[in-house]
Amino acid sequence: APAGAALDDEAVALDRAHVFHSWSAQGAVAPFVVAGGSGSTVWDHAGRRYLDFSSQLVNTNIGHQHPRVVEAIRAQAAELTTVAPATANLARGRAARAVLGHAPDRFAKVFFTNGGADANENAIRMARLHTGRDKVVSHYRSYHGNTGAAVVATGDWRRVPNEYARGHVHVFGPYLYRSEFWATTPQEECERALTHLERVIQCEGPSSVAAILLESVPGTAGVLVPPPGYLAGVRAIADRYGIVLILDEVMAGFGRTGSWFAFDQHDVVPDLVTFAKGVNSGYVPAGGVLVSEEILATFDERVFPGGLTYSGHPLAMAAVVASVAAMEDEGVVENAAAIGTDVLGPALTALAEAQPLVGEVRGTGVFWALELVADRGTRTPVGADVMGPLKAACLRRGLLPFLAENRVHVVPPCVVTPAQAEEGVALLAEALAEVAPA
């Protein structure tokens, strides 16, 4: 439709002229137009449709434009669009109750934020005040957000140009495919990563360490599902030295791994949990910190020196309430688990067997990564010469992929149907075959 194509052109032209993009050299941005969406599909103004295997930034767990969530935002907008954080508001209280309803009993309150970075920022603040200590230990292979302490807790390259916050220490977490520990089994990787973590804490001085902050399943770093026992081992180390354990569930939480929280699958209960993204699928920005009873007690008499104008914003809270309710009523988390076990796991494993570019497949639920290598023996990562054409080959086939470094992250909404999951993997297989060296 020519009218639609003109709107796409206008969107691209306005973007190029006036929008400053995240994590980009501005001259190199090549915008992809999204005009609308429904469930696991998005489209541009011209009507080209794409199966969304990215969930945007891994946040539309409930899919695009879920009618119940859209209607809840509409109803809240008609009633009250904004309110000060110090007020009592029904939407906020109900949202807190809804989120806590899926958390272990020790969590009693929620501090709401605007997103994931400020959730981690405030969790770190709570841990420091609670312990009277300063240092935060996190993984090199991690992403925790782009604000002061969150970006320095981040382990990947984005930390380095932003190192203005003090007291951050990094360790290597388990990643058997590229082991830092010469491990050959998940058990060895787990034991050696735990020994390394504990040795670093001992060398830093355990009485100076406030928190261990980890993604339950490191996401952007490559969907690095921890080996059995790792998170429980971290919990034991935290307990041994009186350190607060913060688990970042911003990407992994709310169904992504096939459970409400990813740590549910790892026999561990942290002291603080940070969340955002899937809590309301990003329909209105929201995040937060789940606070355990012990840490709450610290702030009974003592002022918590942190806050946000939009903490518990009513539109975001209405979206949380409706989103959690829809996920409960429609078995969205169960669907994510079944898609992982019945469709994505087997289909991606079969793809890897047939396609030599794939060095490893790993994941759970609707949270998977394919690691692409030039050579399976040396495990040398493929470069931009493969990933650029791969992206184009996916888009040409109507598949919106999530690519990071040498990896394809297979991260559709938790509501993806078995047929859509199969179709997406088939399109990905075709695209990989097109770019694979002859």
**CB of 231 vs ligand PLP, minimal distance in Å:** 15
**DSSP structural state of residue 382:** P
The binder of ligand PLP chosen from 42, 95, 98, 117 (CB under 6 A): 117
DSSP three-state, residue 420: helix
> Which ranges of 22-108 would DSSP assign to H, the alpha helix?
55-58, 67-79, 90-100
When asked if residue 248 is in the footprint of ligand PLP (CB under 6 A), the reply is yes
Determine the interface stretch with ligand PLP among 190-198, 236-244, 248-256, 389-397 (rule: CB under 6 A).
248-256
Please report whether residue 311 would count as binding ligand PLP according to CB under 6 A. Answer: no
144 vs 407 by CB, closer to ligand PLP: 144
Name the minimum Å distance from CB 144 to ligand PLP.
5
Q: Cα–Cα distance between 418 and 399 in angstroms, integer?
A: 16
Q: What is the β-pairing status of strands 244-248 and 272-275?
A: parallel
3-state helix, strand, coil in the chain (%, to 5): 45, 20, 35
Give the phi and the psi of residue 167 in degrees, each rounded to 5: 80, 25
Beta carbon nearer to ligand PLP, 287 or 312: 287
Residue placing its CB nearer to ligand PLP in the complex, 176 or 246: 246
Axis-axis angle for helices 90-100, 314-329 (nearest 10): 40
Site track for ligand PLP across 43-62, x = CB under 6 A: --------------x-----
Taking the least distance from each CB to ligand PLP, the nearer of 253 and 359 is 253
Q: Could you tell me how many residues of this chain bind ligand PLP (CB under 6 A)?
A: 16
Nearer CB in complex with ligand PLP: 40/220? 220
Number of neighbouring beta carbons within 10 Å of residue 101 = 10
The residue from 45, 66, 144, 409 that contacts ligand PLP (CB under 6 A) is: 144
Taking the CA atoms of 163, 166, 169 and 175 in sequence, report the sign of the dihedral they define: negative
- State the nearest-atom distance from the C-beta of 168 to ligand PLP, in Å: 15
145 binds ligand PLP (CB under 6 A): yes
* Binding of residue 250 to ligand PLP (CB under 6 A): yes
Collect contacts of 99-102 with beta carbons under 8 A, ≥24 apart.
99/275, 99/279, 99/288, 99/290, 99/320, 99/324, 100/290, 101/324, 102/260, 102/261, 102/324
Binding mask 262-281 for ligand PLP (x = CB under 6 A): --------------x-----
Smallest gap from Cβ 119 to ligand PLP, in A, equals: 7
Among 37, 39, 63, 116, binds ligand PLP (CB under 6 A): 116
Tokens 């994510």, residue located: 336
Which region among 110-118, 124-132, 164-172, 230-238 touches ligand PLP (by CB under 6 A)?
110-118
**Part of the chain binding ligand PLP (CB under 6 A), chosen from 87-95, 141-149, 357-365, 368-376:** 141-149
- Which residue number is nearest to ligand PLP in terms of Cβ? 116
Nearer residue to ligand PLP within complex by CB, 116 or 167:
116
Interaction of residue 284 with ligand PLP, rule CB under 6 A: no
Minimum CB distance to ligand PLP, residue 220 (Å):
5
Name the H helices within 108-163. Answer: 116-131, 148-153
For residues 365 and 340, what is the distance between their CA atoms, to the nearest angstrom?
4
Per CB under 6 A, which of residues 198..227 are in contact with ligand PLP? 215, 219-220
Asked if 233 touches ligand PLP (CB under 6 A), the answer is no
DSSP structure class, residue 348: H
Residues 6+ apart with CB under 8 A from 13: none
Helix (H, G, I), strand (E, B) or coil at 111: strand
- Report the alpha-carbon distance of residue 221 to residue 138 in Å, rounded: 13
Scanning the structure block, which residue is given the tokens 């796991």? Answer: 345
Q: Is 359 in the site for ligand PLP (CB under 6 A)?
A: no
Rounded to a whole number of angstroms, the minimum distance from the CB of residue 79 to ligand PLP is 26
* Nearest-angstrom CA–CA distance, 387 and 435: 9
Which residue in the set 37, 63, 115, 365 belongs to the binding site for ligand PLP (CB under 6 A)? 115
Kindly tell me the sign of the dihedral angle through the C-alpha atoms of 363, 366, 367, 371.
Answer: positive
Using the 8-state DSSP alphabet, how is residue 203 labeled?
Answer: H
Given a contact cutoff of 8 angstroms between Cβ atoms, the answer to whether 272 and 295 are in contact is yes
Asked if 167 is part of the footprint of ligand PLP (rule: CB under 6 A), the reply reads no
CB of 246 to ligand PLP, least distance (A): 11
Q: Is 111 in the site for ligand PLP (CB under 6 A)?
A: no
- Binding residues for ligand PLP, rule: CB under 6 A, are 57, 115-117, 120, 143-145, 215, 219-220, 248, 250-251, 276, 287
